[in-house]
Amino acid sequence: MGFLTSKDREEIEKNFTSELKENERRVLRKLHPFRFDRNSLLVDFYRRGVSVPLLAKISGLSHPHINRLVKGSREKNLCRDFREI
C-alpha cells in the first residue's frame, strides 16, 4: 500500500461526488440554514473515511473549520463515553 497519487485522488473524488444524493449535496453546502444537520453529515462522512480536503471542496467550508468540527465531535463523544463508565 503506497501513497495516493493525484490521479487516485481525482478518481476517489469523482466516485464520492457521483454517489452523493441530491439531498446530501444540498445539506453539505456552506450556506445551508440548518448548521447542525450540515455538521453532522460532515462528521459522518469523515468517520466513513472521506478526507477533509474533499469535504472542504464539496461544502465550501475551509479545512480548519472542518477540522474543528471533526475534532470537537470526537472530544464530545469521548467525554460522553467516559461519563458512562
In a domain, 80, yes or no: yes
Q: What is the pLDDT of residues 32-68, one digit of tens each?
A: 888 888 989 999 989 988 889 999 988 999 999 999 9
- Domain residue limits at 40: 21-84
- Residue 29 falls within a domain, yes or no? yes
Phi-psi region of 62 (alpha: psi -120 to 50; beta: other; left: phi over 0): beta
Query: Is residue 7 a contact partner of residue 38, using CB atoms and an 8 Å limit?
Result: no
Torsion of CA 40, 41, 43, 47, to 10 degrees: 130
What is the torsion angle, in degrees rounded to the nearest 10, for the CA atoms of residue 72, residue 73, residue 75 and residue 81? 160
Count of structural domains, the chain: 1
Residue 11 counted as domain residue: no
Task: Determine contact, residues 31/59, Cβ cutoff 8 Å.
Answer: no
The mean per-residue pLDDT over the stretch 71-80 comes to 59
For the entire predicted model, the pTM comes to: 0.70
Tell me, yes or no, whether 16 lies in a domain.
no
